[in-house]
Amino acid sequence: MHQVEFDVRRTADGHLVVIHDATVDRTSNGRGKVSRRALVQLRELDFGSWKSARFADERIPTLAEVLDELPDDVWINLQIKKGEDVGSEVATLVAERGRLDQVFVACGNAAARQARAREPRIRICNLVRQESRADYVEHAIATRSDFVQFHHLRGAPEPELVERAKRCGLRVNYFCDPAGCALAPLFEAGIDFALVDDVDAALDEVRPLGIVPVARPRVGGRLAGTRAFE
């Protein structure tokens, strides 16, 4: 399976929307915090032209819309940013949309507790960084997490830690350097998913490993781009 990763935030009027930044400044023609704008106000902004003219007039999606669009055969890595008090709502929506088998929530301990209190079946990717990567793996095991997410800033994945994580039932993501990194050694080290920015370049590199694009959107939906690979 492939994996797609994105972040969720709450609007001023309580809607969950998919956006990385806390403000709309970088990725739209507007300014201000997402949390201080109603959904209808956010919908007035152009979130595509900054990237390319072919994305002009792209509107911010709600989490419900994104869940309804993504294919049925990808993992959905849904990150709750620090300070976003949305664990309960995210878990509820994931269950209502029938995506519990695909979604895992990447978050801190407080958000994980909220999500599990609302929906015990929700999967968790622990993002609580520790003094060392070894401590991080042990913390994820202790908190009954389902995924860990290694980061390129702490170096290449240590095969022994990957093995430890997987032996205890954890799947392993690796967040790659946006400038790029060699993918074959990551999979040789045992990781499950490599999160990348340049999907096209990554696919070219991993095709010899037998990794090919997802080509089946949900019925009525558009083909979703993937950001990570297994």
Residue-range domains of the chain with CATH:
2-12+62-229 (3.20.20.190), 20-59 (no CATH)
Torsion of Cα atoms, 188 then 193 then 196 then 198, to 10°: 80
For residue 58, give the amino acid letter. E
- Report residue 215's pLDDT band, with 50, 70 and 90 as the boundaries: low
- Model pLDDT, residue 227: 37
Q: CB-side exposure of 33: number of CA atoms within 13 Å?
A: 8
Q: State how far the Cα of 216 lies from the Cα of 226, in Å rounded to an integer.
A: 12
Instruction: Please work out, in degrees rounded to the nearest 5, the angle formed at the alpha carbon of residue 66 by the alpha carbons of 62 and 67.
Output: 115
Mean pLDDT of 116-142: 97
pTM of the model: 0.89
Q: How many residues does the chain have?
A: 230
Mean pLDDT of 7-24: 97
- Model pLDDT, residue 221: 36
- Model pLDDT, residue 220: 39
225 close to 202: Cβ distance less than 8 angstroms = no
- Model pLDDT, residue 1: 67
Other C-beta atoms lying within 10 Å of the C-beta of residue 176: 21
- Model pLDDT, residue 171: 97
Q: Which of 132, 51, 134, 66 is nearest to 102 (CA)?
A: 66
Q: Over the stretch 61-106, which tens digit does the pLDDT of each residue have? A: 999 999 999 988 899 999 999 889 999 999 999 999 999 999 999 9
User: What's the Cα-to-Cα distance from 186 to each of 48, 130, 211, 227, 230, rounded to whole Å?
Assistant: 32, 22, 14, 16, 11
Average pLDDT over the chain, rounded to an integer: 91
- 89 three-state secondary structure: helix
Backbone angles phi, psi at 130, to 5 degrees: -115, -175
- Model pLDDT, residue 96: 97
Q: Which residue has the higher pLDDT, 217 or 30?
A: 30
pLDDT at 113 over 60: yes
Q: Cα 53 vs. chain centroid, distance in angstroms?
A: 26
Q: Over the stretch 134-175, which tens digit does the pLDDT of each residue have? A: 999 999 999 999 999 999 999 999 999 999 999 999 999 999
Q: State how far the Cα of 25 lies from the Cα of 17, in Å rounded to an integer.
A: 16
- Model pLDDT, residue 212: 77
pLDDT at 189 over 70: yes
Residue 229 pairs in a beta bridge with 194
Residue 80 pairs in a beta bridge with 8
pLDDT at 211 over 70: yes
Q: State how far the Cα of 154 lies from the Cα of 159, in Å rounded to an integer.
A: 14
